[in-house]
Amino acid sequence: MLKTFNDIASACFLNSLQRESSSLYYVTQPEGSCHLHIPLEQDKYILVPVHYFSSLGISEYRWPAFLISGQERVEISFRQVVEIIINNKKLVGDQTNSNKLKFIERVMESHANTHAAISRISSFNSLFDGALKFENAEQGLLAGHSVHPAPKSREQFSEEDASLFTPEFQSCFPLRWFAVSRQLVLKDSAGKDSATALLGKVLAVDNKLRKALLGKIPEGFCLFPVHPWQSKVLLKRADIKEYIKNNQLIDLGDHGTNWLPTSSTRSLYSPGLPLMLKFSLSVKLTNSIRTMSEKEVRRGLRLKTIVEADEFQAKTNKYTGFTIMQEPAFLGIIGIDGKVIEESLVSLRDNVIKDTPEQEAVVLATLCQQHPTGKNSLLASRVSYLAKRKSISLSEAALKWFEQYCQHAVVPLFDMQANHGIVFLAHQQNIVMKLEDGLPVGMYFRDCQGTGYTDIAYKLYPEYLIDDAFDRENYWDESKVKRYFPYYLIINSTYNVISALASRCNILEESLINILRNSLKSLRADGVNDRSCLNYVLDSPTLCCKGNFFCYLQNLNENSIPEPSVIYFDLPNPLFKEKDKIFNNGNNEELSLV
């Protein structure tokens, strides 16, 4: 019998290609086995055995794959599959040799990085079979984005860098610290505490840091935190060298308690400290170089002022389990040209789990990721635990879990958009589920960079949005909301939840899709200020979806594309049912359900 094996890194690649290419399709053999069919030329094609077929595009595969040519059937490796695909014009179009070679290199680097992280795990039970604390979940994401050709590629990192600074290697390290002349620091904050005061609270708690820096910060200088890898980038800059030469910047070195990289790599967490820190990091992760801009870090300040306003609190107190990890302040170093050095920017994020470090707070991507050996995902294991604890069937437990997920994540986020005009781009790594005995009781949203405001917000909270001229991207019209918001929350996040449950919990994807549909229909039926996005998600035959495969193949930096919508395409919408479509008289008034 042929020995097959799981390969979660290859699943990310195949699912991203299959989602974007109409040439690929699944075939079921008479005996019931399923394969992904990748047509080549003439009578040649590739077959990849499928362990679990997902109608939502998050399938599981078994290796090896096979190259079929007439009656000949040859086993081929993942690298061979990648090379054959990338050199087939019918599948990927006419690509330059440099693009093809770079793409293959990055895909295989990501594949190797994933397997290197997996090889370091002594026991999968601790990651896939029990309650996880925040930091364990953050550092337990092995493959990354489940529908991306190279989610763990990070070409600017050496192997040593990866082992020192990436979460999946369970790394931890002290920060680099600068002392910078105040006139060279751009900083701002929302709320009662300045950025300097917030860092002072870290200094007050971190005894090692306080002792190390005692007497080393001159009068008129600001303490400035730097990611240790990013410090190498900054110290090579001519303006930073000039500041050091002129005694305007002092490199104090690496000091203090250890910080852990979270699933995004550039955001750091240290249990017990009052802040998390999000840094610009000059590394390409998935589709983007992960440096921030001033307009992006200011979004955290704006969001804090709105959500702490009395009028907002009064209208949203029904969502007791919904918490935002606020980013109330930022710092950056001003360059010789008078503009902030984007590579130096750091956002200060509230550590909202500081007082409950043992809480089961799990990033959604880790909950849903496929098990490296093909066993239960963490989500499936928690549902199995729930079924035993409640003495109910596995399918009943899965339904209960998903209902709670919709109640505590999907509905509040849609309510924020539809009733308050606040858009949260809630992808899998921005949603951290609050669990009790494995069951959702709330969620944390993080990354205020991914927020925006519609006309409703400008009407409800005008005094907080008057300076939108600085960041016009912060204003979202109807078309922009429809393009991005459902992609992140529904396609990126919720599809993965559905697939993870259906693949192991004796439940059909369609049953879970029905729960999602009904949750959104109930919110719409209750009456909302803006039903345009809900109508789109429920009534449109297609949803706008990001094309990660071809964006990455074309070597685009998503953050710098003049019009990011060019990497999106229409994906069939499983929530759409013709008989449920709302007909209206042009005034957005519901007339009937047929």
Residue by residue, DSSP assigns 534-556 as HHHHHH-SEEEEE-HHHHHHTT-
Q: Say yes or no: 193 and 108 in one domain.
A: no
The region, left, alpha or beta by phi > 0 then psi within -120 to 50, assigned to residue 347 is beta
Q: Say yes or no: 301 and 396 in one domain.
A: no
Q: Say yes or no: 382 and 425 in one domain.
A: yes
Residue 472 has pLDDT above 80, yes or no: no
Is 462 within a domain?
A: yes
Is 77 within a domain?
A: yes
Q: Looking at residue 171, what is its pLDDT?
A: 96
Average pLDDT over residues 78-97: 96
pLDDT category of residue 588 using cuts at 50, 70 and 90: very low
Instruction: Give the single-character DSSP code of 36.
Output: E
The C-alpha atoms of residue 137 and residue 264 are separated, in whole angstroms, by 12
Domain boundary among 315, 350, 385: 350
Residue 509 has pLDDT above 50, yes or no: yes
Is 579 within a domain?
A: no
Q: pTM value?
A: 0.95
Task: Give the chain's radius of gyration (CA, Å).
Answer: 24
Q: Say yes or no: 108 and 220 in one domain.
A: no
Q: Say yes or no: 368 and 276 in one domain.
A: no
Q: Say yes or no: 276 and 380 in one domain.
A: no
Give the total number of structural domains in the chain.
3
Which H/E stretch holds residue 422?
strand 422-424
Residue 419: count other Cβ atoms within 10 Å of its Cβ. 18
Here the tokens at position 161 are 């860098």
The C-alpha atoms of residue 478 and residue 544 are separated, in whole angstroms, by 13
Average pLDDT over residues 64-88: 96
Residue 70 has pLDDT above 80, yes or no: yes
The tens digit of pLDDT for each residue in 237-261 reads 999 999 999 999 999 999 999 999 9
Q: Say yes or no: 264 and 389 in one domain.
A: no
Q: Say yes or no: 423 and 400 in one domain.
A: yes
Nearest CA-CA partner of 13 in 166, 152, 169? 152
The tens digit of pLDDT for each residue in 128-156 reads 999 999 999 999 999 999 999 999 999 89
The C-alpha atoms of residue 560 and residue 346 are separated, in whole angstroms, by 19
Is 501 within a domain?
A: yes
Please state at what angle helix 378-390 crosses helix 495-502, rounded to 10 degrees: 60
Q: What share of the chain is helix, strand, coil (3-state, %, to 5)?
A: 45, 20, 35
Domain boundary among 303, 325, 350: 350
- Whichever domain contains 536, its CATH number is 1.10.510.40
Q: Say yes or no: 376 and 331 in one domain.
A: no
Q: What is the 3-state secondary structure (H, E, C) of 121-144?
A: CCCCHHHHCCCCEHHHHHCCCCCC
The C-alpha atoms of residue 35 and residue 570 are separated, in whole angstroms, by 25
Q: Say yes or no: 200 and 317 in one domain.
A: yes
The CA–CA distances, whole Å, from 490 to 205, 301, 364, 520, 572 equal 40, 27, 13, 11, 13
pLDDT category of residue 315 using cuts at 50, 70 and 90: confident
Is 565 within a domain?
A: no
Is 482 within a domain?
A: yes
Average pLDDT over residues 559-579: 87
Domain span at 405: 361-540
Average pLDDT over residues 216-244: 98
- Whichever domain contains 41, its CATH number is 3.30.310
Rounded to 5°, the CA angle 49-141-447 comes to 125
The C-alpha atoms of residue 12 and residue 116 are separated, in whole angstroms, by 16
| Omega of the bond leading into 228 within 30 degrees of 0 (cis) | no
Is 594 within a domain?
A: no
Q: Say yes or no: 164 and 312 in one domain.
A: yes
The C-alpha atoms of residue 423 and residue 426 are separated, in whole angstroms, by 9
Average pLDDT over residues 44-61: 97
Average pLDDT over residues 378-396: 97
The lowest-confidence range among 225-229, 328-332, 461-465 is: 461-465
Residue 468 has pLDDT above 70, yes or no: no
Sheet holding 322-324, edge to edge: 322-324, 439-445, 431-436, 360-363
Rounded to 5°, the CA angle 28-34-37 comes to 85
Is 545 within a domain?
A: no
Q: Looking at residue 42, what is its pLDDT?
A: 85
Q: Say yes or no: 422 and 381 in one domain.
A: yes
Q: Looking at residue 593, what is its pLDDT?
A: 27
Domain boundary among 283, 316, 350: 350
